[in-house]
Amino acid sequence: ARRGEDVRDLRGRRVVVSAGGTREPLDPVRFLGNRSSGLQGYALARAAAVRGAEVVLVAANTELADPAGVRVVRVATTGELRAAVLDAARGGGGADAVVMAAAPADFRPASQVATKIKKADDGSAPSLALVQNPDVLAEVAADRPAPGTVVVGFAAETGDAAGSVLDHARAKLARKGCDLLVVNDVSGGAVFGEPDNEAVLLGADGSTTAVARGSKALLAHAVWDRVRAHWDAAAP
Ligand code: CTP
Ligand code: CA
């Protein structure tokens, strides 16, 4: 039991979690993708289910076992991820929370290539024209599935000449319009597929909560604690 509290404290809540990394096909055999493992998103889905929530997990290209008691919807591209997240979030009168732990590919090829891109004999390489993908998090935040839907984003940032990790995170939270941003400092090099995570939970009200290095399950529970605080604050 968690600190002797009611362990089913998310009972009656419907939540949508995205996980993994989307892939955009370049041709029938190649794709543009990223190294997201999906571990943090799966930990979030598992933690919510354990605490009694009804969970839809939109999983992009993950190789992980379905968490018990979670409905898993598998997707490949950012377009498919967007459709699945919006569908799950808008169903049943609107989800209580949408947590975007996935790493969507930011760009996709401008045109679909139905046949394999071949090498030219002269040693030249093709140029790929890319277009930007839709921003799912910003869309869900701007057009809430229900008035009380809590919208959570993730960001991996590095400090640079333009500002600190938190400066960049605050700007991203404002740009996305979400309620909460889970911020990972990756200044020491990005970590993919690592079992542990450490983060700062940044609220739209400017509040910050540090979550010490620990398991992804620990961070997942800290995120749901914050989401629950939003719901409790909104309750009459
Ligand atoms: N996100 C999204 N749709 C996209 C890109 C990102 O919903 N097309 C979500 C991610 O799931 C994450 C949050 O937005 O929760 C931040 O992702 P990030 O890649 O840090 O943001 P970007 O706006 O893509 O900015 P950057 O240029 O730093 O990649
Ligand atoms: Ca991005």
Dump pLDDT digits (tens) for 54-100. Answer: 999 999 999 999 999 999 999 999 999 999 999 999 999 999 999 99
Residue 30: predicted pLDDT: 95
CA of 12 to the centre of ligand 2 (A): 32
Cβ proximity of 96 and 149 under 8 Å: yes
Which pLDDT band holds residue 188 (cuts at 50, 70, 90)? confident
- What's the average model confidence in pLDDT over 124-140? 96
Q: Is 223 in the pocket of ligand 1 (CB under 6 A)?
A: no
Tell me the percentage of the chain whose pLDDT exceeds 90. Answer: 88
What is the SS3 assignment for 157? strand
Q: Is the pLDDT of residue 1 over 50?
A: no
Residues at the annotated binding site for CTP?
Answer: 106, 116, 134-137, 154, 172, 176
Please confirm, yes or no, whether 197 is among the known catalytic residues: no
- What's the average model confidence in pLDDT over 11-30? 97
Residues at the annotated binding site?
Answer: 106, 116, 134-137, 154, 172, 176
Residue 6: predicted pLDDT: 76
Residue 164: predicted pLDDT: 94
Q: How many residues does this entry show for the chain?
A: 236
Which ligand minimizes its atom distance to the CA of 134?
A: 1
Residue 3: predicted pLDDT: 58
Question: Which of these is catalytic: 34, 61, 133, 197?
Answer: 34
Report the C-alpha gap between 95 and 54 in whole angstroms: 10
pTM of the model: 0.95
Q: Is the pLDDT of residue 19 over 90?
A: yes
Cβ proximity of 89 and 45 under 8 Å: no
Q: Is the pLDDT of residue 153 over 90?
A: yes
Q: Is the pLDDT of residue 191 over 70?
A: no
Report the C-alpha gap between 6 and 147 in whole angstroms: 26
The chain-wide mean pLDDT, for the chain, equals 94
Which ligand minimizes its atom distance to the CA of 156?
A: 1
Question: How far is the CA of 4 from the CAs of 7, 8, 43, 179, 227, in angstroms?
Answer: 8, 11, 21, 28, 19
